[in-house]
Chains A and B, each alone.
Chain A
Amino acid sequence: MLRFLTQLGSYFLLLKKVFSKPEKPSVYYKQTMHEMVFLGLNSVGIITIISFFMGAVITLQTAYNTENPIYPTYLIGLGCRDSILLEFSSTITALILAGKVGSNIASEIGTMRVTEQIDALEIMGVNSASYLILPKIIATLLFNPVLTLISISVGIFGGWIAGTTAGVITSEDYVYGIQYAFIPYYVTYAIIKTLFFAFIITSVSAFQGYNVEGGSLEVGRASTKAVVYSSVLILLFNVILTQTLLS
């Protein structure tokens, strides 16, 4: 318990250091653009592939579980849309990014720690925590909502392709279903969740990397911890946010 509280305290102290005034905004701006490409744009491929198949599977499973003449077939499209909007695109995408981006951040910063690159920054008078972590947080906060929107679009498209190809729903019914009883707030809800998850992934992973002590073995451990802790926190905050935003 004491260890947990110490870690929590260290995490908030690191955040305080991260959110202090940047030394030179122009350098931070360049770094943020670089991170948007590195952490955001480079994740578009994996998010697209996963979202496509996710949408396809949701559509097929909804279809096979609602094989009843009482249910109109457009409900398959509606079910696919709401599942993707409410849960899959934000949470599943976040869990995937916790694996891809989280481990990347922890190992990058961890390696910089053990090879004294962070000490080199400190010696120059640079606030290393802010310089290394703030651009990553800003980049993911700005880009992850875009990834979520891409995931929603591709997921719904994947559902349409799978549904019509497998013959479980007509194109007209699917399109009618995804428009039926649409609640725009669900998109806002997905974006809000994404913002929280992006912050968790980046800050928790950076914390793990920044506090590495030892060598390459510890960097690997920090990377694993980053993914595990981020994923658990994402699931926990998913419950909290769902209750808070949808109740």
Chain B
Amino acid sequence: MIKVNNLNKSFNGKTVLRDISVTFEPGKTNLIIGRSGSGKTVLLKSIVGLHDIDDGEVWYDDVLFNRLDFRGKKEIRKEMGMLFQGSALFDSLTVEQNVRFPLDMFTDKSDEEKRDRVNFCLKRVNILNANDLLPSELSGGMKKRVAIARAIALNPKYLFCDEPNSGLDPLTAILIDDLIKEITEEYSMTTIVNTHDMNSVMKIGEKIFFLSDGIKCWEGNNKEILSSDNNTLNDFVFANALAKQLRTTLIRNHHGN
């Protein structure tokens, strides 16, 4: 479980996150949603410690993460996996070397054991016969899947995904969503996904936090989101023409009944 208490973050005097308190549950895909510039990525990076927070608390189970020194954070980080918006695969390494990297760095496994683990992770994300390819030779969807394979190589307790569907076609995006959900359940991970993709929200949003202008405005799940009376949330959820039409129909039907 990851718990955030009264988190504040500003850059050069400009407040980006204001008094955020949220609890991310294990074994569930926790979503942070909101418009571009609402502070989703800053919140995610503050939780993982890539940004130092101004004040507040970030708890990983019973460890107060943001007060730890570099060594302490390092220990917790060995239990984290992260999928970045642009995949962040190491350009100079092949697919196999990318997935093997955390194993080389933090385990004393034999070469064969490492190879087996790499192949298992790649197979788990449906990447076959691509071990020797460089990231520049992969499609966007494949890069994301390799990044997921790298993220799960050390069996992490916490998985963070920053806009996992950005730049992907709808079908590939669904595959990535399914994969994140399956892996989360399989390994009972605490997964946090940043997204503004409503398909993802409806498909995998077991717990959803809506951010607007750096403030948490709403909390719920994918079943509750369509019936919310929060106007800011509704503006976001029903932003496109199709969704607006759907909402109008739903309201009409509701009044009709």
A120 vs B77: C-alpha distance when bound (angstroms): 11
A68 vs B2: C-alpha distance when bound (angstroms): 85
User: Which A-chain residue is minimally distant from B101 (CB atoms)?
Assistant: A124
B77 touches A124 (CB 8 A): yes
Rounded to whole Å, the gap between the CB of A27 and the closest CB of chain B is: 6
Given contacts A125-B74, A125-B75, A125-B78, contact A120 B84 (CB under 8 A): yes
Of the candidates B82, B86, B91, the one whose C-beta lies within 8 Å of that of A123 is: B82
Rounded to whole Å, the gap between the CB of A36 and the closest CB of chain B is: 15
A125 vs B70: C-alpha distance when bound (angstroms): 9
Secondary structure of the A side of the interface?
helix
A191 vs B187: C-alpha distance when bound (angstroms): 56
Residues of chain A within 8 A (CB-CB) of B90 are 112, 117, 120
Q: Does A119 contact B (CB under 8 A)?
A: yes
Q: Does B140 contact A (CB under 8 A)?
A: no
Rounded to whole Å, the gap between the CB of A158 and the closest CB of chain B is: 35
B75 touches A116 (CB 8 A): no
Q: Does A149 contact B (CB under 8 A)?
A: no
Of the candidates B74, B84, B101, the one whose C-beta lies within 8 Å of that of A116 is: B84
B88 touches A120 (CB 8 A): yes
Q: Does A3 contact B (CB under 8 A)?
A: no
A116 touches B105 (CB 8 A): no
Q: Please report which residues of chain B, range 56-112, place their CB below 8 angstroms from some CB of chain A when the two chains form the complex.
A: 70, 73-75, 77-78, 80-82, 84-86, 88-91, 101-102, 104-106
Q: Does B180 contact A (CB under 8 A)?
A: no
Given contacts A125-B75, A125-B106, contact A116 B85 (CB under 8 A): yes
A124 touches B50 (CB 8 A): no
Residues of chain A within 8 A (CB-CB) of B80 are 123-125
Q: Does B142 contact A (CB under 8 A)?
A: no
Rounded to whole Å, the gap between the CB of B57 and the closest CB of chain A is: 20
Residues of chain A within 8 A (CB-CB) of B192 are none
Q: Does A23 contact B (CB under 8 A)?
A: yes
Q: Does A172 contact B (CB under 8 A)?
A: no
User: Which A-chain residue is minimally distant from B48 (CB atoms)?
Assistant: A123
Residues of chain B within 8 A (CB-CB) of A116 are 84-86, 88
B84 touches A124 (CB 8 A): no
Residues of chain B within 8 A (CB-CB) of A27 are 104-105
Q: Does A216 contact B (CB under 8 A)?
A: no
Residues of chain A within 8 A (CB-CB) of B105 are 23-24, 27, 124, 126
Given contacts A123-B48, A123-B50, contact A115 B88 (CB under 8 A): yes
Q: Does A67 contact B (CB under 8 A)?
A: no
A40 vs B7: C-alpha distance when bound (angstroms): 47
B88 touches A117 (CB 8 A): yes
Q: Please report which residues of chain A, range 106-135, place their CB below 8 angstroms from some CB of chain B when the two chains form the complex.
A: 111-112, 115-117, 119-120, 122-127
A122 vs B45: C-alpha distance when bound (angstroms): 11
Residues of chain A within 8 A (CB-CB) of B104 are 24, 27
B85 touches A123 (CB 8 A): no
B78 touches A124 (CB 8 A): yes
User: Which B-chain residue is minimally distant from A119 (CB atoms)?
Assistant: B50
A124 vs B78: C-alpha distance when bound (angstroms): 6
Top 4 nearest A-B pairs (CB, nearest first) are A125-B77, A120-B88, A116-B88, A125-B74
List B residues at the A interface (Cβ < 8 Å). Answer: 45, 48-50, 70, 73-75, 77-78, 80-82, 84-86, 88-91, 101-102, 104-106, 160
Q: What are 16 A-B contacts defined by CB distance under 8 Å?
A: A24-B105, A112-B91, A115-B91, A117-B88, A117-B89, A117-B90, A119-B45, A120-B88, A120-B90, A122-B77, A123-B80, A124-B77, A124-B80, A124-B102, A125-B77, A127-B70
Known: A112-B91, A119-B45, A124-B80; 5 extra A-B contacts, CB below 8 A, are: A115-B91, A116-B86, A120-B84, A120-B88, A122-B49
